[in-house]
């Protein structure tokens, strides 16, 4: 066997799908499954997971069951397989009882090689009857991270999959797939699904055609930057992700007010070549649509159609946008805010350039994004069904995800390398520069020593006995004469005027970085108070050293507006 693996698998790849060769990682998974070994495949969306179980399913005897959470996609998946000549069926609650029986009968008598179901289906008596009398070669579990409470998308129905498999008369080979990187979630997948000594493959995370860029911008500068970007790429399709529904509407309206739209792009649609619109004729029109989960289904569907058919070049969306939407020519994805994890970021950013053409992923962030994310995270679990100890564990795990996200924003390393290593993919020993595929490679960085500023901030929080907000602390440190400081007799405080010569913006930057790094903590509510965080004591230690990074952008860095 060569590295493309079992000749039957390569033959099936070429015959059914018309692809010449397997992508890295695929052949290994297919071979493991053909030899009866369980697998855990960790690959991002779009990397080609489906083929990893579809091809073995065509070769193995009997039927393979595919467990997938999205009923709405089953029809499309099954149609696509039937189109290439692979017999497949699905069973779900949208069918009549007769249709369900027919699908199960086809799976039982060998007329279908793949049977798609949602996890809830496994618990029905009808399905159990079918499963106990039909030889099942393989069970493939898509979006397997849904078994874990430590991930983003826990679904209790996934917990029944392990039991279902354990009660089958003959144990099938089990294949689990996810795009989640954390160790904890991977361990849960293995133990809850009962994978037996699985072959673990992590691959497909690097996307060389994507250019990654990170820009630290103040909140008020984000919208103008996005408007300028959209205006200078009038013939391109893009997604702008926002953190809240409100933001998507405000930003879409603002883009529509300020960005001229090419007439062809607005009126042409797919028939006129869509975003290929030519000519310089511009007029104010609709350049963007908003999309979020709070919209009525009809309006949401319309927004999606407008974007997918290129009638409108830009969709401004919450993370509700994307699941099951296949648009290959998205040229850029801009994040208006920092997402809660690298998994979330990579999944959303990865919707750019699915056609393999060069595309850009830009993350706009600032320190207050981090503070907001932390605050949201802490309040997220208050009404949960979990015990207080479990809630705390989930919080810690979510904070770690966020820390890695913040690390991405701050790193001076190659962004492709940072990402692939995060997901656990082997990074080649000579990796470390993507040769112009990210904003960090080829840049120089200035590292600024801000130890004195950090120490002064910490002393001031102590001076005011952890009882005031950030604004007042900055004023005290800069020696302000503002009236609202009077109750503190500021002249008597040891830190009054200590940072007189430092700009307010710089103090705030250091402040926010200290919050993000756990030196300080800001309370929730209308009057946020600055308290000491878990690492506060470090600032009082003699060797305390604290740095901030600044990028010296070289003119050669790939311009966003070029």
Residues that bind ligand ADP (CB under 6 A): 19, 22-23, 26, 43, 45-51
Output the smallest distance, CB 27 to ligand ADP, in A: 9
Alpha-carbon span 51 to 14, nearest angstrom: 12
Residue closer to ligand ADP, measured from CB, 348 or 369: 348
Output the smallest distance, CB 432 to ligand ADP, in A: 27
H, E, C per residue of 184-209: HHHHHHHHHHCCCCCEEEECCCCCCC
Residue closer to ligand ADP, measured from CB, 346 or 365: 346
Question: Cβ contacts of residue 252 below 8 Å, gap of 6+?
Answer: 288, 289, 290, 314, 316
Tokens of 517: 């790094």
Q: Which residue is nearest to ligand ADP (CB)?
A: 48
Residue closer to ligand ADP, measured from CB, 119 or 322: 322
CA 395 vs CA 376, 402, 525: distances in Å: 11, 10, 19
Output the smallest distance, CB 43 to ligand ADP, in A: 5
The three-state secondary structure class of 440 is coil
Residue closer to ligand ADP, measured from CB, 198 or 268: 198
Output the smallest distance, CB 391 to ligand ADP, in A: 32
Residue closer to ligand ADP, measured from CB, 23 or 37: 23
Residue 70 phi, psi (nearest 5): -105, 100
Q: Are strands 444-449 and 314-317 parallel, antiparallel or unpaired?
A: unpaired
Residue 521 phi, psi (nearest 5): -140, 135
Residue closer to ligand ADP, measured from CB, 113 or 472: 113
Output the smallest distance, CB 41 to ligand ADP, in A: 9
Alpha-carbon span 257 to 263, nearest angstrom: 15
Output the smallest distance, CB 97 to ligand ADP, in A: 30
Output the smallest distance, CB 351 to ligand ADP, in A: 11
Cα angle 141, 147, 148; round to 5: 140
> What dihedral do alpha carbons 93, 97, 98, 99 form, nearest 10°?
10
Output the smallest distance, CB 17 to ligand ADP, in A: 6
Residue closer to ligand ADP, measured from CB, 41 or 339: 41
Strand segments, DSSP code E, in 366-462 are: 444-449
Residue closer to ligand ADP, measured from CB, 18 or 542: 18
Q: How many CA atoms lie within 13 A of 276 on its CB side?
A: 5
Long-range contacts of 123-126 (CB under 8 A, 24+ apart): 123/157, 123/160, 123/164, 126/100
Strand segments, DSSP code E, in 152-265 are: 173-178, 199-202, 210-216, 237-241, 260-262
Q: How many CA atoms lie within 13 A of 72 on its CB side?
A: 3
Output the smallest distance, CB 123 to ligand ADP, in A: 25
Residue closer to ligand ADP, measured from CB, 82 or 126: 82
């Amino acid at each position: 066997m060569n590295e493309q693996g079992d000749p039957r698998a390569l033959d099936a790849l070429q015959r059914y799908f018309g692809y010449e060769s397997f992508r890295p990682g695929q052949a290994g998974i297919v071979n493991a499954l053909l030899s009866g070994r369980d697998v855990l495949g960790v690959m991002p969306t779009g990397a080609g997971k489906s083929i990893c179980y579809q091809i073995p399913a065509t070769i193995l005897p009997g039927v393979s069951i595919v467990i997938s959470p999205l009923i709405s996609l089953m029809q499309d998946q099954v149609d696509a397989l039937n189109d290439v000549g692979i017999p497949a069926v699905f069973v779900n609650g949208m069918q009549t009882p007769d249709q369900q029986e027919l699908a199960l009968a086809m799976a039982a008598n060998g007329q279908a090689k793949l049977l798609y179901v949602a996890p809830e289906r496994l618990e029905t008596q009808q399905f159990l009857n079918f499963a106990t009398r039909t030889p099942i070669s393989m069970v493939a579990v898509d979006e397997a991270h849904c078994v874990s409470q430590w991930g983003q998308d826990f679904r209790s129905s996934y917990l029944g999959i392990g039991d279902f498999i354990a009660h089958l008369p003959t144990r099938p080979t089990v294949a689990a797939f996810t795009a989640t990187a954390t160790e904890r979630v991977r361990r849960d997948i293995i133990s809850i699904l009962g994978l037996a000594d699985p072959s673990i493959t992590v691959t497909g995370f690097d996307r060389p055609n994507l250019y990654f860029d990170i820009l630290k911008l103040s909140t008020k500068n984000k919208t103008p930057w996005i408007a300028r970007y959209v205006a200078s790429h009038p013939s391109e399709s893009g997604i702008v992700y926002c953190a809240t529904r409100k933001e998507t509407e405000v930003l879409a309206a603002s883009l529509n007010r300020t960005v001229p739209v090419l007439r062809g792009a607005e009126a042409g649609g797919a028939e006129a070549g869509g975003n290929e619109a030519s000519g310089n004729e511009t007029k104010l029109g609709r350049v963007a649509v908003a999309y979020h989960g709070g919209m009525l289904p009809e309006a949401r569907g319309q927004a999606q159609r407008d974007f997918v058919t290129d009638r409108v070049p830009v969709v401004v969306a919450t993370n509700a946008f994307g699941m099951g939407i296949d648009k290959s020519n998205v040229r850029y994805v801009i994040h208006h805010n920092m997402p809660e994890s690298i998994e979330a970021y990579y999944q959303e950013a990865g919707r750019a350039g699915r056609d393999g053409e060069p595309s850009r992923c830009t993350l706009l962030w600032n320190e207050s994004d981090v503070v907001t994310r932390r605050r949201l995270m802490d309040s997220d679990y208050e009404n949960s069904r979990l015990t207080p100890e479990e809630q705390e564990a989930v919080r810690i795990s979510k904070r770690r995800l966020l820390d890695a996200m913040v690390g991405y924003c701050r790193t001076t390393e190659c962004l492709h390398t940072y990402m692939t290593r995060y997901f656990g993919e082997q990074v080649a020993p000579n990796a470390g520069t993507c040769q112009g595929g990210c904003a960090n490679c080829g840049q120089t960085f200035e590292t600024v020593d801000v130890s004195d500023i950090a120490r002064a901030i910490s002393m001031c929080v102590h001076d005011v006995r952890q009882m005031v907000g950030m604004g007042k602390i900055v004023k005290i440190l800069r020696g302000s004469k503002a009236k609202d400081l009077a109750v503190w007799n500021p002249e008597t405080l040891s830190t009054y005027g200590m940072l007189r010569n430092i700009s307010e913006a710089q103090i705030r930057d250091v402040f926010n970085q200290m919050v993000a790094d756990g030196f300080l903590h800001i309370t929730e509510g209308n009057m946020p108070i600055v308290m000491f965080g878990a690492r506060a004591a470090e600032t009082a230690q003699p060797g305390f050293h604290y740095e901030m990074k600044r990028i010296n952008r070289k003119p050669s860095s790939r311009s966003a507006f070029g």
